[in-house]
Structure 1
Amino acid sequence: MTPSKIFIGLLLLTLAIGCKSVQKTTSAAQNEFKVVGYYTPGSAEPESLPLNYLTHINYSFSIPAPSGDTLMPLRDDSILKRLVKHAHSGNREVFISIGGWGIGDGGGDDSRFHRMAERAEGRHTFVRSAMALVRKYDLDGVDLDWEYPDEDSPSADQYVLLVRELADSLHALNKKLTAAVVASGKKGYGTKKEALDAMDWVNLMAYDGDYGGDIVKAHSPYAYAVQSIDYWVKGRGLAPSKAIIGLPFYSKKGFGQFGPTYKQLIADGASAYDDYWKGAFYNGINTIEAKTRLARQLGLGGVMIWEIGLDTSDDTSLLKAIDRAKR
């Protein structure tokens, strides 16, 4: 064999090994168990967030303007800038979460989304506005939190069109699109399979069970997580790898009444291992670990937290519990 042929052979072998290495790295990234934490300004300083226990942080929220097709300026964008700097220093990703329950007086007013989505130009303008935000703050993706498109109205199909257009724009820049969805029930049917297919993953809000359903008053027991997973994966065809099960770091007291945060509960004397204290239902370490192990066993994409600023920083930390259970 001539020297040139030997050189070419070695070059091809090196390239083949390199390609296999890239494929393994890509596969590992795709199979990563995600720990997605929602973060609201004021709950904690951005630099205090423990990046070693998180993979993604969702800054909450960017609010649509009354017209619905543009996004209102952030009240204090310095917090988002600090968050991005902190997260990127640890190779963690930051998404902007758009929407949320708090729109309108008393919350739960999604009319801005409906006004935007019913017109093609409204959807185009919304996507351009979202992409401008992503570029301005060097974000890694968008989490769409429209609560909720309706099954029995045109908004379900309009949601599909919006999601596809936004996903195409984000994916062209190697960015990601996710969404927050209801735990289960009729409201979930407004999010069609075509929309789920366009998303990178879906955050299942498996808490606030006291609002109704088969499991009431207990807010977010283990059984509610099972019910939510069954609804979306078995019933709605969501790929397990796209299902991110939600975990609460706050408590509820009866029908729709918010209780203390987990951090407050522990400071007041509640046990880190129980799920009930003085009328407040919450998730302690045992339940958080059990849900995380369930996500692992079922091959889910990971877990999601509302919200990470409500955790403790000592041995009672729920983020530390998640980290132990996911290994």
Structure 2
Amino acid sequence: MFSIQAGWYSGRFSDAALTAERRERFARTAIELVRTYNFDGIDIDWEYPDGTIRESDPHNLVLLLSEIRRQLDDAERADDQRYELSMAASANPSVIDSQEVGAFSDDVDFLNVMNYDLHGTWDERTHFNAPLYPVPDAPNAKPTFTADHAMRYWASQPIAKEKLHFGLPFYGRTFENVQNEHPSDHGLFNSFDSASSVTYDDIQQNLKPQSDYEYHWHPDAKVPWLYSAAEDTFVSYDNIDSIANKVDFVKSNGFGGAMCWELSQDPSNTLIGTMHDRLH
């Protein structure tokens, strides 16, 4: 898929979708690239058309997807092959609420729900990057900021469940200078000074081998973490066990599939292999 992204609230997608002329040109030039490089379709990664840039963005998204689908249909007839249209989708309920899902559901083949970045440097306390389920006793508990809630919320929208794909992170987040208030916390739900992202490969190659990084598993959230008391560092990430749980969630709840962000963060194919094995 040829995926098009324009930066976090950059306004560029808002500009491109604003008029019929711009939408026609966007679709036409994108399809030219699809044909040139023999892609299977187009993926739209607009973060986010929720009305923040322009009030008309949610509706203009519908018009943009409709125009792309119309031109893809023409290209299918001309090229005698199938072209897909997909879109990255937010896990945030407030963004989902802004979308005219029923108006574009027939035009898209699937949505990739980005079930990650649910917690990070913007929080006051350490938490999990991509929890599957909520942690009831967490001091910064946000039950709506879980993968389970995001998928079920999307499933309540007027779109077929098989068009919903579960997004899995191949990266985690490190929280540094953690103020571990109690030894039994192992860094969890504690204040911190800074945070950054870290790939699964980096965690496996450089953090886990260090003896002071202790492995922990949360029975409620169904995700692991590492904690180093010596370095006051908390690391939230996904491993083969949490990936397996999430893929099983996809299967048991009738969703269409799973996606990941992103392949280069797992050069050993450990996580993508787990996804494949569990799905098949």
* TM category, shorter: 0.7 to 0.9
Q: Cα distance 1:116–1:269, how it changes in 2: closer, same or farther (>3 A)?
A: closer
| Partner residue, 1:175 | 83
Gaps of 5+ in 1: 1-94
1:275, distance to aligned residue in structure 2 (A): 1.7
1:216, distance to aligned residue in structure 2 (A): 7.8
Out of 94, 105, 113, the residue aligned to residue 196 of structure 1 is 105
Deviations 1:152-185 (A, max 9, x none): 7111111101101101222331201000011122
**Inter-partner Cα distance in structure 1 for 2:110 and 2:149:** 18
**Does residue 115 of the first structure (1) align with residue 15 of the second (2)?**
yes
Out of 267, 273, 280, the residue aligned to residue 320 of structure 1 is 273
Are 1:251 and 1:281, in contact at CA under 8 Å, matched by a contact in 2?
A: yes
**Inter-partner Cα distance in structure 2 for 1:237 and 1:216:** 35
| Partner residue, 1:241 | 162
1:149 is paired with a residue whose SS is coil
Q: Cα distance 1:139–1:264, how it changes in 2: closer, same or farther (>3 A)?
A: same
Please give the residue correspondences for 1:126-205 in structure 2 after superposition, counting only pairs within 5 Å: 126-151=26-51, 153-172=55-74, 173=76, 174-193=82-101, 194-205=103-114
| Partner residue, 2:181 | none
1:151, distance to aligned residue in structure 2 (A): 4.5
**Inter-partner Cα distance in structure 1 for 2:19 and 2:11:** 13
| Partner residue, 1:124 | 24
Aligned residue identity for 2:171: Y
What's the % identity of the aligned pairs?
29
**Inter-partner Cα distance in structure 1 for 2:268 and 2:100:** 39
**Inter-partner Cα distance in structure 1 for 2:99 and 2:32:** 25
Are 1:151 and 1:191, in contact at CA under 8 Å, matched by a contact in 2?
A: no
Aligned residue identity for 1:277: L
| Partner residue, 1:227 | 149
Deviations 1:59-89 (A, max 9, x none): xxxxxxxxxxxxxxxxxxxxxxxxxxxxxxx
Are 1:142 and 1:178, in contact at CA under 8 Å, matched by a contact in 2?
A: yes
1:228, distance to aligned residue in structure 2 (A): 1.1
Structure with bigger helix share is 1
Aligned residue identity for 1:302: G
Gaps of 5+ in 2: 77-81, 134-145, 176-191, 209-214, 218-222, 228-233
1:218 is paired with a residue whose SS is coil
Higher gyration radius (CA): 1
Over the aligned positions, Cα root-mean-square deviation in angstroms equals: 2.5
Please give the residue correspondences for 1:239-278 in structure 2 after superposition, counting only pairs within 5 Å: 239-254=160-175, 257-270=195-208, 275-278=224-227
Are 2:216 and 2:226, in contact at CA under 8 Å, matched by a contact in 1?
A: no
Provide the TM-score with structure 2 as the length reference. 0.73
Provide the TM-score with structure 1 as the length reference. 0.63
